[in-house]
Amino acid sequence: GNSVTQMEGPVTLSEEAFLTINCTYTATGYPSLFWYVQYPGEGLQLLLKATKADDKGSNKGFEATYRKETTSFHLEKGSVQVSDSAVYFCALSALTGANSKLTFGKGITLSVRP
Amino acid sequence: EPEVTQTPSHQVTQMGQEVILRCVPISNHLYFYWYRQILGQKVEFLVSFYNNEISEKSEIFDDQFSVERPDGSNFTLKIRSTKLEDSAMYFCASSPLAGAGDTQYFGPGTRLTVL
């Protein structure tokens, strides 16, 4: 079946540091890949997505490239801010029957210090 | 910007009691989902719903669970007889379309605590 593996956390960085959060996946067919973010006290929000191999998703300075050869979708940001402190979830979606469902990684907590 | 809402934000119940978790999806969306996250574990798919029918359900979604769209706006998850292991954060999501690349929009979640 489909699965998503994220690097273990939590991650603590200083403001303006470079961020990489690793995500790898196992899937049959041609999944779409997503990063969702959960800020304290809020629901899951889509951060970015990529729907086919070599696509790059980007939003709010975050980027991730869909790498089919390494089955990865690592999240990067060049300079993190305190406001980026949140839980980050990697997920994949594959069409199954009438609709699709998301398969999530475990999530990783990012804390950014001023 | 339209958003998915969920009530209550926190529900505490005794084991064996019935609970109903409520969600109001985004108004023009057609596909609805429930997920849950047990503390410290992954977010897991429970069920998807379209055209007043369950489209797909996971192994977790046994006979104790049911979903309903009682009117044009609400989408509910009912647990008939709660167990301790049902304690989790429950997320509702909706999407306008159901392709693999289509975004699902999530609510803030309901934290269910079963005592």
A44 vs B55, B100, B106: nearest CB: B106
Question: What's A72's DSSP letter?
Answer: B
Q: Which residues contact A1 (CB under 8 A, 6 or more apart)?
A: none
Verify whether the Cβ–Cβ distance B43 to A107 is below 8 Å: yes
Strand partners, A50: A33
Verify whether the Cβ–Cβ distance A43 to B4 is below 8 Å: yes
To the nearest whole Å, the CA of B46 is away from the closest chain A CA by: 9
B50 vs A51, A98, A107: nearest CB: A98
- Tell me, what's the pLDDT at B35? 97
Burial (CB count <10 Å: 0-12, 13-18, 19+), residue B92: buried
Token readout for A77 is 């940001």
pLDDT in tens, B21-80: 999 999 989 899 999 999 888 899 999 999 899 999 999 999 999 999 988 789 999 999
pLDDT in tens, A34-64: 999 999 878 899 999 999 999 999 999 999 9
pLDDT in tens, A17-35: 999 999 999 998 789 999 9
Judged by a CB distance cut-off of 8 A, whether residue B90 touches chain A is no
> Which residue did the predictor score with more confidence, B98 or B84?
B84
Burial (CB count <10 Å: 0-12, 13-18, 19+), residue B105: buried
**Residue B1 confidence (pLDDT) above 80:** no
